[in-house]
């Protein structure tokens, strides 16, 4: 019996976490696409900010580990900065 209850609980938690995780993934993907398209544009900066917000929300809700979210934000910011630097050169 405990295994069945644990499965039901896990399914409920997964269903509750899925939209938060999906939003974060979609915003990160959109930010990466905007960086590749034109890193100097306002759209790229706004997309990165939206991704940072979604990752922070996922970390606050416990969907992502806080260090995981911080690492993703760091990588995304670094990608934007490097793309801008290479475009200027």
pTM of the model: 0.90
Whichever domain contains 52, its CATH number is 1.20.58.110
First to last CA, the chain: 64
What is the spatial distance between Cα 43 and Cα 47, in angstroms, rounded to a whole number? 6
Where in the sequence is the domain holding 36, given as residue range(s)? 2-88
User: What pLDDT, on the 0 to 100 scale, is given for residue 1?
Assistant: 64
Please check whether residue 38 is in contact with residue 44, taking contact to mean a CB–CB distance below 8 angstroms: yes
User: What pLDDT, on the 0 to 100 scale, is given for residue 87?
Assistant: 87
Total domains present in the chain: 1
Per-position pLDDT tens, the chain of length 89 = 689 999 999 999 999 999 999 999 999 999 999 999 999 999 999 999 999 999 999 999 999 999 999 999 999 999 999 999 998 87
Closest by CA position to 25, among listed 46, 70, 55, 66? 55
């Amino acid at each position: 019996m405990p295994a069945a209850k644990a499965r039901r609980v896990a399914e409920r938690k997964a269903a509750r976490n899925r939209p938060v995780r999906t939003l974060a993934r979609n915003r990160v993907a959109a930010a990466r696409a905007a960086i590749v398209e034109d890193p100097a544009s306002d759209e790229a900066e706004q997309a990165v900010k939206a991704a940072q917000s979604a990752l922070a929300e996922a970390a606050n809700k416990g969907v992502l580990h806080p260090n995981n979210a911080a690492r993703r934000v760091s990588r995304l910011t670094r990608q934007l900065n490097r793309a801008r630097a290479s475009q200027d050169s």
